[in-house]
Chains A and B, each alone.
Chain A
């Protein structure tokens, strides 16, 4: 079921909520724990650092192949790993501008838990 595992990440998954350091202003994602950090919602804007096209998927993603995974440099500073969506591999280049969009990430199976969260797409 793993309901709590996904529920506790809801702010990060649904609205890209990370953390801002209270004294030096550093922005972090995933969110950090501790009194020196406060919640901070990132813009979802970034630039593609690198990507790959997955043809041999792990369990749970078999039905999605081929799909693209990427590392995105977010404008606030942190980097993030996520899937690329709404584009074809032939249109993708390192350095292109991308933005966050909320999509279905997976389905935990018979218990019916649908996992939503961030993917990235070319800036519209």
Chain B
């Protein structure tokens, strides 16, 4: 029987184009903050999520350098580069290590440093999570693959591109209050509609900006000892799908997201209706729409109505992108899964910028590429 596992301390940096900072410096800042917030934790291992360091030719095996920089030299280290799922996978490995009794505490840091290269190299690095020989070679980008899904969705369900605009508008509205967000300004549906195309039918204002940042969590068998509310990882699930979109029988079903979430909720003995605060991989409205449907919030082909009705707003029934989401907080790729845990821990402790009243159950799901790997965690306040 595995033992309970808690979020003992958290830390993060602002998300942005941080020209003066290295990946090591960002990771160190976030991790020191998390360690300071949870002193006396016997950290036995450091798991680092970093999707693009090696792909951009900057640094592979980043974890030992971070361990040395924060005084953890000698501990077990692991660097995970599983695209946008890396952060969630690092959290899961830490949870398993603590739950199994291998360690009493494990540090996790997700870090991404992407602003040193121009768009083309960043697009190419991101596209490495597509099928290299059978998708990537043909000039496919992740954005163009989401655009293909959006076009198919519009065709199959008779939905207009304007029906997606509520999602980036909501993301920007929420980011205004988030001090660590990349874009702290509101946008209008008209601006989304009139923005230039990145990958038609996806416009610039329905495309997240990939940005620098780091977040850290100390995962422990002991809840935080101070006055803050204890937050437990009640469920954890991972699932995979065909890496190539064309290999999937039903392209509009994000099966890995659906399966990972089912597994995590089952472990937590909860249902999706128990979740009060939610964060997901949402670089485009179509990702949020397909994820809402995979999570079972709405029948297939109908999730854009949650945007139109205002259900996704901060005070709605399914609040989305409470920190701005990938669109306005910024897409921190491999660090996203760790940012989510830091941000949702704040929700459960009642200290978040767009606080959901009395939230006690939160769910984070992040994924790589077009959800070829998906990771879901369920957090519960005790």
A-to-B contact residues, CB < 8 Å:
5, 9, 30, 49-62, 64, 66-67, 69-71, 78-83, 89, 94, 105-106, 115, 117
A9, A58, A80: the one contacting B246 at CB < 8 Å is A80
Nearest CB to that of B125 among chain A residues?
A: A58
Nearest CB to that of A9 among chain B residues?
A: B133
Q: B137–A106 contact, CB under 8 A? A: yes
Complex Cα distance, B134 from A94, in Å, reads: 21
What is the distance, in angstroms, from A57's C-beta to the closest C-beta of chain B? 6
Contact status of A52 and B202, CB under 8 A, knowing A57-B123, A81-B245, A81-B246: yes
Nearest CB to that of B141 among chain A residues?
A: A58
Q: B123–A55 contact, CB under 8 A? A: no
The 5 sampled A-B contact pairs (Cβ below 8 Å) are: A53-B200, A54-B141, A57-B123, A78-B246, A83-B138
Q: B251–A71 contact, CB under 8 A? A: yes
Q: B148–A61 contact, CB under 8 A? A: no
Nearest CB to that of B130 among chain A residues?
A: A81
* CB-defined contacts of A105 to chain B, threshold 8 Å: 137-138
Chain B stretch 114-156: residues in CB contact (< 8 A) with chain A: 119-121, 123-124, 126-127, 131, 133-141, 143-145, 147-149, 151-152, 155
| Tally of chain B residues near chain A (CB < 8 A) | 38
Q: Decide yes or no whether B199 CB sits under 8 A from chain A.
A: yes
* CB-defined contacts of B102 to chain A, threshold 8 Å: none
* CB-defined contacts of B140 to chain A, threshold 8 Å: 54, 69, 81
Complex Cα distance, B119 from A88, in Å, reads: 25
Contact status of A81 and B123, CB under 8 A, knowing A56-B143, A71-B148: no
Q: A58–B127 contact, CB under 8 A? A: yes
Q: Closest 6 A-B residue pairs measured CB to CB? A: A52-B147, A58-B124, A53-B200, A79-B246, A50-B152, A58-B123
Complex Cα distance, B127 from A56, in Å, reads: 12
Q: Decide yes or no whether B198 CB sits under 8 A from chain A.
A: yes
What is the distance, in angstroms, from A31's C-beta to the closest C-beta of chain B? 11
